Amino acid sequence: MRLDLFLKASRLILRRTLAQKFCDAGLVKINGLTAKSSREVKTGDEIEIKKGNRLTKVKILGVPAKKQISRQEADKLYQVISEEFLEEEAPFELNFAD
């Protein structure tokens, strides 16, 4: 499954277009490397998402077979490894209000 679809299905990012913008801005990493939205994800990958001054790291526990899943199933797709608040401000402000 593509990274942008996984982020939407897992509800880590609520919209696919927003997930693509985060990837294009270099705010999403897989296993420590900056990832494009089209990158395929698999079980065991670690995803790092930077939203403003918050850095969230999760480990993929399962990849869904379909694009849309229930909210209860979405929570079971990943495990939060760490979530930290960064002291410094983001180098630039992203405005994704559509």
**Residue ranges, the chain, pLDDT below 50:** none
Domain ranges of the chain: 3-85
Q: Are 9 and 67 in contact (CB under 8 A)?
A: yes
Q: Residue 96's pLDDT is what?
A: 61
Residues linked to residue 50 through DSSP beta bridges, in sequence order: 55
What is 25-73 written as a DSSP string? Answer: TT-EEETTEE--TT-B--TT-EEEEEETTEEEEEEE----SSS---HHH
Q: Residue 67's pLDDT is what?
A: 82
Q: Residue 95's pLDDT is what?
A: 62
Pick the CATH number of 3-85 from 3.10.300.10, 3.40.50.300, 3.10.290.10, 3.20.20.30: 3.10.290.10
Predicted structure pTM score: 0.83
Burial status of residue 25 (CB atoms within 10 A of its CB: 0-12, 13-18, 19 or more): middle
Q: Residue 65's pLDDT is what?
A: 85
